[in-house]
Amino acid sequence: MVIVEGLYDGLPVITTNVGGIPEIVKDGINGYLVKPKDFVSS
């Protein structure tokens, strides 16, 4: 639900590309998809 609510409010969503999420979030269009357990260290 949180993903859909964010998209409804016009916010970009950053989430993992597992399950049915890639059907809702289009990478680079209305949000960003990342691999599970992928991170950037600072």
Query: What pLDDT shows up at residue 38?
Result: 81
Query: What secondary structure does DSSP assign to 12-30, as a single string?
Result: -EEEE--TTHHHH--BTTT
Query: What pLDDT shows up at residue 11?
Result: 93
Structure pTM? 0.75
* pLDDT tens, residue by residue, 1-42: 999 999 999 999 999 999 999 999 999 999 999 999 887 765
Rounded CA-CA distance 12/39 in Å is 18
Query: What pLDDT shows up at residue 42?
Result: 59
Rounded CA-CA distance 26/42 in Å is 27
Let me know if 7 is exposed, middle or buried by CB neighbors in 10 A (0-12, 13-18, 19+).
middle
Query: What pLDDT shows up at residue 41?
Result: 64
Query: What pLDDT shows up at residue 37?
Result: 87
- Report residue 3 CA to chain centroid gap: 7
